[in-house]
Amino acid sequence: GQQLNQSPQSMFIQEGEDVSMNCTSSSIFNTWLWYKQDPGEGPVLLIALYKAGELTSNGRLTAQFGITRKDSFLNISASIPSDVGIYFCAGQLTSGSRLTFGEGTQLTVNP
């Protein structure tokens, strides 16, 4: 079946630094999604991408849908302590179909 490789597995950064993480797939997706999970909570959708090459921002977050449809990137600029959590990428073939999730990137921000 489809697999998503998400990297890095964990990151330890200083407040104010920029962060980049990515996901790659062995097959194409038509939608890419990025979620954030705060400690002890369920994941919450941050950004959805629907078109190859699309670049979308949500505040300090920017995500891109790779041109090959097999990858996606999430960047966080000027990190703050509340950015701490686990970030998941997810790919979806069609609306309403099952999501395939990456293994997550654990982000720690030191003040």
Partner 1 sequence: SQTIHQWPATLVQPVGSPLSLECTVEGTSNPNLYWYRQAAGRGLQLLFYSVGIGQISSEVPQNLSASRPQDRQFILSSKKLLLSDSGFYLCAWSSLVGYTFGSGTRLTVV
* Contact residues: partner 1, CB under 8 A: 31, 33, 35, 40-45, 48, 86, 88, 90, 92, 95-96, 98-99, 101-104, 106
Please give the angle made by the CA atoms of 10, 13 and 16, to the nearest 5 degrees.
Answer: 140
> If DSSP codes are grouped into helix, strand and coil, which group holds residue 97?
coil
Q: Which of 8, 16, 36, 14 is nearest to 79 (CA)?
A: 16
| Closest separation in Å from C-beta 61 to partner 1 | 16
Strands 55-58 and 44-49: unpaired
Nearer Cβ to partner 1 (2/16): 2
Nearer Cβ to partner 1 (77/92): 92
Nearer Cβ to partner 1 (10/27): 10
Residue type, 104: G
| Closest separation in Å from C-beta 34 to partner 1 | 10
Nearer Cβ to partner 1 (78/98): 98
| Closest separation in Å from C-beta 49 to partner 1 | 11
Q: Which of 89, 22, 91, 1 is nearest to 50 (CA)?
A: 91
